[in-house]
Structure 1
């Protein structure tokens, strides 16, 4: 199966409230022979304030953010969606993409009314992340790669250190295309030096195969990493799926506890096994290519404990309930911003058809389509897009509401609920960057000058 190695550079670290500025991808065959590549950028969306830190790191200038020759974020989302179809079927691969880039892509499709926000999992596509593969190589074959350290002497698995340490000297870090080329280099090293490990890891890109492994109730090794610690493996056994989320499996650590002690345990004890630290039962996302590896020599005790779980369907049901209970929402909590409602429910077929038409319609027709959407999330996002890209269609009242939306968003208090960039946060960030000498003064001055007229325009 082909690979699409890709990376994004963004305005900040929030998938929900930031946006991509650059998408780079290299399409290869299964042997990493290049078939095509793309490197596209886009303008800043009208409702986004970029993080000054992100601009400094990526070297994106304010002029680039508003370059009229670049596509809008809406047009950019259409271009990326087209590549997910053109190169299908393929395994979409990146470095730490499951936790960030994949979520940014989904948000980009969602907020720009693409009919399929799961594009890297449809049309025969699936996903894989090189970072867990690196962890697996570290645990299974420590001599496979050179393992660099950071400035404090701790082991570093960051791409900008790992790739140069292993012979990739042309790495242009924090440029999407440079990161893609570095990721391919690391993938090729693992695949060449340990074909068996690579094959086993790539097998996990297919969730049906992960499911089959789990539901065999055999002991498996799960390689993962927590915090700043070193990667390690856990010998465990499947013990159910989270209620309401069949993609989230429960994995019982067979070295941490005897499952027989939990068969008659209280609900509180089972919840603690799922929720406490260290965990006895941890979650495994079967659709995120976990580093789930064959345990070649399980002990008699491992096999015995796995058999107990296999023969205890009632216990597995209670574990499933405990897994789901970790994410129960407070019914009295205020409504979430629309960006955080992405996983609220699947789109109806009728709405999907309207979204398909929306992608290719004129803006006046798009405004009509938005009014006919039955999903309130999509109506809100659609009205926002019309305001962004065809403001002349708005009434005076709608224009005033849009301006108030921007003013409230960008002037929000600096509290945990404010997860997006505001003027207050941007000014504080610029001050920190100046104090730390982290950028040229003229670079920071340009960012500050860019933000001033935006602030004036909404007051």
Structure 2
């Protein structure tokens, strides 16, 4: 949060914009063909970063290398800004969720670039909202106006849930999936409330019937009050109660309060001596129960000398439950060693069959040996717990 949102920082996913440029304003950029022997996929375009950069003469020396991919993405962004400046500027200033929510709340049909719509449709959906998910204000439940919304009239929430958000195998014979979609406004979608971006040429390319879309939008406006309740209920009926997550993996289970953030900053600024003194005086405490447990584990992992006898016994039991019994996230020691053995066997076979160079094989084996040694050290420490408990 501090890196991506604090001090008016923000993020932007460029991929929806790339799809939008190809679908709406493709001029000035070379769009590489998708290489395939499947006749059904002939004529499709490839949107892989390395293909687009190569087709447009952009530098991308090491595809899938993180730093190289970042620089190539920047070059692609620069190309879009140069060749389609109006679309670039519009997308840049309308990328955040407040702008997306305003577009969806305009009462007008909105153009949404959605990869699940498929390339044959130009990844284009023209949608209008039916409801906002009360359990998640960032999720708008929208109707694809290529279909008649009167399908929803009189439908039970359970049936809407199954046909809109359920698995394909749960559809009954002869049933079609509903054109109801969940649009998350905080994922930087491309959403525009001006359907004039769908020029006659765009509509012709992708078979869009604007008059039908407008008529379906008007129909949705007339029946929205009747279908809003069942649609909202359909979303909640799919959600199953979740078990509370272990604090080690509960990163997204809620924001940290300013008071707890201040305490964390103080904690990380302490020297080892000051830290031990703060612990002995009980000067470090958190309101968030996740942080209280994380603080205990932090001490056990990094400053075990600050633990009381009771806390040491609690920590030993926690380690046994994780590493031996398999309680909580992560691998047991047994599973950990099995994973290493499986990788080692696959590497050996690949090396014997000539699919892995000797130098690569040796480097990987060195890493696997180090991982095995580390696991042995952990296993030995767990064995020592038994002796400590017996004392």
- TM-score range relative to shorter protein: 0.7 to 0.9
Partner of residue 247, structure 1: 138
User: Which consecutive unaligned segments of at least 5 residues does structure 1 have?
Assistant: 1-116
Q: State the 1:457 CA deviation.
A: 1.1
Q: Are 2:296 and 1:383 aligned?
A: yes
Residue in 2 that maps onto 1:264: 154
C-alpha distance in 2 between matches for 1:397 and 1:379: 16
Superposed displacement of residue 325, structure 1: 3.2
Q: Deviations over 1:65-112 (max 9, x none)?
A: xxxxxxxxxxxxxxxxxxxxxxxxxxxxxxxxxxxxxxxxxxxxxxxx
1:430–1:217 distance in 2 versus 1, CA, 3 Å: farther
Q: 1:232 aligns with which of 101, 123, 126?
A: 123
Following TM superposition, by how much is the alpha carbon of 1:303 offset from its aligned partner in structure 2, in angstroms?
2.3
Residue 103 of structure 2 corresponds to 213
Partner of 2:189: 290
Q: Structure 1 residues 444 and 401, CA, compared in 2 at 3 Å: closer, same or farther?
A: farther
Report whether the alignment pairs 1:357 with 2:266: yes
Indicate the RMSD between aligned Cα atoms, in angstroms: 3.6
Measured after TM superposition, the shift of residue 223 of structure 1 is 1.5
1:372 pairs, out of 273, 285, 309, with: 285
Task: Give 1:346 deviation, angstroms.
Answer: 3.7
Instruction: Spell out, residue by residue over 1:151-208, the C-alpha distance to the aligned partner (whole angstroms, 9 max, x if none).
Output: 8787543334433343233433344322221110111111111122222322332211
1:293-347 Cα deviation digits (max 9, x unpaired): 34225723322322333452352343233223333325xxx54333443333343
Q: TM-score, normalised by structure 1?
A: 0.63
Q: State the 1:373 CA deviation.
A: 1.4
Where 1:251 maps in the other structure, the secondary structure is: strand
Equivalent positions of 1:427-442 (< 5 A) are: 427-436=341-350, 437-438=355-356, 440-442=360-362
The Cα of 1:273 is off from its aligned counterpart by 4.3
Aligned length: 338
Q: Which moved more, 1:131-140 or 1:204-213?
A: 131-140
Structure showing greater radius of gyration is: 2
Q: Contact between 1:160 and 1:171, CA under 8 Å: does it hold in 2?
A: no
Which consecutive residues of structure 2, in runs of 5 or more, have no partner in the other structure?
169-176, 199-208, 380-391
Deviation at 1:422, TM superposition (A): 3.4
More helix per residue: 2
Contact 1:434 1:444 in 2 (8 A): no
Between structures 1 and 2, the one with greater strand share: 1
Q: Please name the residue that 1:305 is paired with.
A: 216
* Secondary structure at the counterpart of residue 270 of structure 2: coil
Partner residue in 1 for 2:171: none
State TM-score, norm by structure 2.
0.73
Shift of 1:360: 2.8
CA drift at 1:397:
5.9
Q: Is the contact between residue 126 and residue 205 of structure 1 (CA under 8 Å) also seen in structure 2?
A: no
CA deviation profile, 1:23-75 (whole Å, cap 9, x unmatched):
xxxxxxxxxxxxxxxxxxxxxxxxxxxxxxxxxxxxxxxxxxxxxxxxxxxxx
* Alignment of structure 1 residues 29-44 onto 2, 5 Å: none
- Which one of 184, 187, 199 corresponds to residue 74 of structure 2? 184
Indicate yes or no: 2:362 matched with 1:452.
no
Moved more, 192-201 or 158-167: 158-167
